[in-house]
């Protein structure tokens, strides 16, 4: 993540500077900008013979920014908030989704100025509270920090052994997930944040690009490392089984499809709807470099005892249960909250739940604007109101059970991310030299002054 963030600082500078250079200034109060306008206007100015190619690339990016906005920027955030709220307060997901939909609708229907005003107010407050609470946790776990840094660096270059809830990981896995998380967190290479930067009134495109280049530093290298140290130092990532089996599941098969009998336990931990995982030993797992695999399950009843239904597993070898129990499938905000709770009971419950709501709402609003600008490029201003209504509806839809496991969540965030990077990077490659020249001219002018 650190390496990607360092490269991301340069990419952000290029993306934003280009968007400022190639803004559509038909509306001076709110000039539309972003990679789609860079491709469209840039090709017309610099490569007029290939203006149609610029149009095709612009359309590709517009479609991809809309896709990314409704998946990673919207539904991913809504599900994460609903999950942590349900975990701690038992509030059904659809209720959280409905409330978020109403709040976001009330803001984004007012346009970019209202979005900017609201996010500028809530984000600094929540970042400050989060950092203060995190400093307290790391203060308690101060002796663990050097070892955690060693673990981070070592795991990036060697295969990590399985430990507790962690099933291990290969170098390739560390690189793949580190890259995905870094790009997802700071948006470098996605071409999304240049859309909102382009709305800034300034006569120095490169100056706005430099400001944007600081974002990966703060977001990924500082905040993400901060969160990683909290999770690692508290041991929530490699904890022992959360619940012991009274009797392990019975394994049956039809060919290479292995089924696990429902398990019932008297332990009252958990509640209906909670996702859980158990570990099994089977054929070699190329993703982790181990022979251990996760089998997802879900608590479907919590009357007199817990009843868990397990998903089937495909394997050419007979699987064996690994360990003596199962784990709750903590992901995203919930995992972070549990890390805080392990140091001070209730800290994660209140801090992370509240912070998740504020961060998710601000993120959903920002990405709503990104997707909106993509649609404006494709269909014009008249399409905006319908888009906003559909976008707010998807917040609610995402909390109705469409996402059930951490795998589903990862797939959802990766859909838009993969598409948008492929659409944006060619634009940076073709026109990047223009941004670098603008940056050099700006630096020279600053030195002269």
**340 in any annotated domain:** no
- Three-state SS for 296? strand
Contacts of 240 (CB under 8 A, 6+ apart): 164, 165
The pTM of the full predicted model, rounded to 2 decimals, is 0.81
pLDDT at 415: 67
Q: Walk across the sheet containing 313-314 and list its strands.
A: 251-254, 257-260, 313-314
Find out whether 58 and 39 touch, Cβ atoms under 8 Å.
yes
Q: Say if residues 296 and 311 touch (Cβ distance below 8 Å).
A: yes
- Rounded to an integer, what distance in angstroms lies between the CA atom of residue 433 and that of residue 449? 25
Q: Mark whether 128 and 28 lie in a shared domain.
A: yes
Question: What does the pLDDT look like over 259-295, one tens digit per residue?
Answer: 999 887 666 577 777 889 999 999 888 777 888 999 9
Q: Could you tell me if 297 and 277 are in contact, meaning their C-beta atoms sit under 8 angstroms apart?
A: yes
Are 372 and 314 members of one domain? Answer: no
Same domain, yes or no, for 152 and 25?
A: yes
- Beta carbons within 8 Å of 449's beta carbon, 6+ residues apart: none
Looking at the structure, do residues 272 and 361 belong to the same domain, yes or no? Answer: no
Where among 280, 312, 335 does a domain terminate? 335
| Burial class, 445, CB count within 10 angstroms (exposed 0-12 / middle 13-18 / buried 19+) | exposed
pLDDT at residue 395 in the model:
93
Q: Which helix (H) or strand (E) holds 387?
A: helix 384-398
pLDDT attached to residue 33: 82
With respect to residue 74, please indicate whether it lies within any of the assigned structural domains. Answer: yes
Report the b/e string of 130-156 with b at 16+ CB within 10 A.
beebbeebbeebeebeeebeeebeebb
389-416 burial, b if ≥16 CB within 10 A, otherwise e? eebbebbbbbbeeebebbeebbebbebb
The pLDDT value recorded for residue 260 is 94
H-helix or E-strand containing 320? strand 320-328
Domain boundary among 335, 367, 387: 335
> Under 8 Å CB-to-CB from 342, ≥6 apart: which residues?
234, 235, 236
Contact 313, 280 (CB under 8 A): yes
Claim to verify: residue 302 and residue 378 sit in the same structural domain:
no
* CA 319 to each of CA 64, 164, 186, 249, 253: distance values in angstroms, whole numbers, following the listed order: 40, 18, 40, 12, 10
Q: What is the pLDDT of residue 339?
A: 92
DSSP letter for each residue of 390-404: HHHHHHHHHTSSS--
**Rounded Cα distance, 17 and 132, in Å:** 34
Kindly give the parts of the chain with pLDDT less than 70. 1-5, 25-31, 111-114, 265-268, 302-304, 402-417, 446-449
Distance separating alpha carbons of residues 261 and 252, to the nearest angstrom: 8
Please, is 254 exposed, middle or buried when counting C-beta atoms within 10 Å of its C-beta (0-12, 13-18, 19+)?
A: exposed
For residue 246, the model assigns a pLDDT of 81
Residues of the domain holding 137: 2-238+345-448
Q: Do both 134 and 85 map to the same domain?
A: yes
Q: Is residue 190 part of a domain?
A: yes
SS3 of 373, please? Answer: helix
Residues 175 and 290 in one domain: no
Total domain count, the chain: 2
Residue 355 and residue 316 in one domain: no
Residue 222 lies in a domain: yes
Helix, strand, coil percentages, rounded to 5, for the chain: 65, 15, 20
Please check whether residue 394 lies inside any domain of the structure: yes
Is residue 173 included in any domain, yes or no?
A: yes
- The radius of gyration computed from the CA coordinates of the chain, to the nearest angstrom, equals 24
Phi first, then psi, for residue 244 (nearest 5°) are -85, 145
Which of 63, 425, 34, 66 has the alpha carbon at shortest distance from 212? 34
Nearest-angstrom CA–CA distance, 186 and 121 = 20
**CA pair distance 66, 376, nearest whole angstrom:** 11
Domain shared by 123 and 205, yes or no = yes
My answer on whether 438 and 417 are in the same domain is yes
pLDDT given for residue 414 in this prediction: 67
pLDDT on residue 20: 86
Domain closes at, from 300, 335, 370? 335
Q: Which H or E run contains 143?
A: none
Inside any domain, residue 363: yes
Give residue 187's pLDDT. 75
Residues 248 and 283 in one domain: yes
Per-residue model confidence as pLDDT tens digits over 4-63:
667 777 888 888 888 888 887 666 666 678 889 999 998 988 888 888 998 999 998 998
Is 34 inside any structural domain?
Answer: yes
**So what's the pLDDT on residue 341?**
92
Residues 6+ apart with CB under 8 A from 6: 216, 221
What does the pLDDT read at residue 403?
A: 67
**Same domain membership, residue 174 and residue 258:** no
Measured at the CA of 301, the angle between CA 297 and CA 307, to 5 degrees, comes to: 55
Instruction: Report which secondary-structure segment, H or E, holds 278.
Output: strand 275-285
Q: Cα(41)–Cα(24) distance, rounded to whole angstroms?
A: 8
């Amino acid at each position: 993540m650190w390496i990607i963030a360092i490269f991301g600082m340069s990419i952000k500078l290029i993306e934003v500077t280009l968007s400022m250079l190639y803004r559509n200034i038909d509306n001076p109060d709110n000039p539309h900008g972003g990679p789609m306008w860079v491709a469209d206007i840039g090709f017309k100015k610099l490569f007029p013979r290939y203006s149609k190619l610029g149009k095709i690339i612009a359309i590709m990016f517009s479609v991809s920014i809309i896709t990314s906005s409704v998946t990673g920027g919207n539904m991913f955030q809504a599900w994460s908030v609903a999950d942590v709220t349900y975990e701690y307060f038992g509030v059904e997901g659809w209720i959280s989704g409905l409330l978020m939909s109403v709040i976001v609708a009330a803001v984004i229907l007012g346009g970019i100025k209202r979005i900017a005003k609201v996010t500028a107010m809530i984000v600094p407050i929540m970042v400050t509270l989060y950092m203060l609470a995190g400093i307290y946790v790391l203060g308690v776990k101060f002796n663990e920090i050097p070892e955690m840094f060693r673990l981070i660096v070592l795991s990036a270059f060697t295969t990590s052994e399985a430990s507790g809830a962690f099933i291990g990981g290969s170098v390739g896995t560390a690189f793949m997930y580190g890259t995905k998380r870094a790009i997802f967190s700071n948006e470098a290479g996605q071409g999304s944040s240049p859309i909102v930067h382009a709305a800034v009134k300034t006569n120095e495109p490169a100056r706005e690009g430099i400001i944007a280049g600081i974002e990966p530093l703060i977001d990924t290298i500082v905040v993400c490392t901060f969160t990683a140290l909290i999770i690692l130092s508290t041991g929530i990532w490699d904890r022992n089984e959360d619940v012991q089996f009274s009797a392990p599941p019975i394994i049956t098969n039809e060919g290479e499809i292995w089924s696990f009998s429902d398990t019932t336990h008297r332990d009252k931990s958990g509640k209906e709807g909670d996702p859980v995982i158990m570990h099994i030993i089977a054929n070699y797992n190329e993703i982790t470099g181990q022979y251990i695999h996760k089998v997802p399950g879900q608590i479907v009843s919590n009357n007199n005892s817990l009843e868990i239904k397990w998903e089937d597993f495909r394997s050419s070898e007979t699987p064996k249960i690994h360990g003596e129990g199962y784990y709750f499938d903590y992901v995203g905000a919930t995992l972070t909250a549990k890390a805080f709770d392990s140091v001070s009971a209730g800290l994660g419950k209140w801090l992370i739940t509240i912070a998740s709501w504020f961060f998710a709402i601000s993120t959903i609003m920002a990405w709503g604007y990104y997707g909106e600008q993509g649609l404006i490029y494709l269909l014009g201003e008249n399409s905006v109101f319908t888009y906003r209504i559909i976008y707010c509806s998807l917040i609610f839809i995402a909390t109705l059970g469409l996402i059930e496991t951490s795998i589903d969540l990862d797939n959802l965030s990766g859909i838009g991310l993969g598409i948008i990077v492929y659409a944006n990077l060619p634009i940076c490659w073709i026109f990047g030299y223009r941004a670098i020249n603008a940056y050099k001219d700006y630096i020279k002018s600053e030195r002269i002054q």
